[in-house]
Structure 1
C-alpha cells in the first residue's frame, strides 16, 4: 500500500472538522505533497493519461488517513459524495470504491465537467459518525 501524506489544502479551509459526534471531510483529490497528481502518465506523444483507479485509491487512502487523525476509520463513514469528470469510468471507480467500503455509507456520485486541476478525475468528500 502506498504511503499517504497529509496535504495542506490550497485554500483557506480545513481538511476536516468535527462537530459533536460527526466528522466532516473536505473534498479529497489525488494531489500529492509535491503538487503532482497521482495516476497521471505522460504519453510519448505528449498527451496525458489519468488513471481513475489509481486516483480513487489515493483519494480513499487520504480520507482514511484524515479519519485516523481523530480516531475514526472508513467504517465510521455514513455519507460519501463522489465527483467524477468522466462517467464512462464509473465501473473503474466503483471497483476500487468497493474494496474500501462495505455499503454501509450512503453515496452520491455526480458527473462534473472539471475539478480544480485538469488531471484530477475524481474527488470525494465524506461524513463520518464517531462518538467522542
Structure 2
C-alpha cells in the first residue's frame, strides 16, 4: 500500500503526517476544516510504502531552523531519514546495498520528475516560496 507523507506547521508545532487521500488532508488543514492555523504545509512524498511512511512519522524529529527550510533542506532531511529507516529495517541489505530509494519522496520521483510543494494559506510554491506568515 502506498501513502502520501507531508509536514505541516500548526500553530507553533511541526507535525509529520501520512495520508491515504491528500485531497482530504488539504481540505482539513488548508481549507480551514480543522479550525487550526496552518502556516506551512509541504508534501514530502505521494507514493511511499506504508511501512516507510509510518516509520517516518513515528521517528519524526523537529530540527533547528525548519521554519526557514526550503525544498532542498527538506530533501536532505528526508533522504537522511530514509537511509536511517533502510538500515533499521534491513531493506538496504535486502536490495543488495544499492542505496536506491523506493517510492516518491520530496520532489524526487522515479523518472526524475519533481513533486515537492510548499503550501501555505497564501498559496502554493516550491523552494519555500509559499511560506505563510510566521507563528
User: Same fold judged by TM-score > 0.5?
Assistant: no
Structure having greater relative contact order (Cα 8 Å, sep ≥ 6): 1
1 or 2, which has the higher helix percentage? 2
TM-score normalised by L of structure 1:
0.33
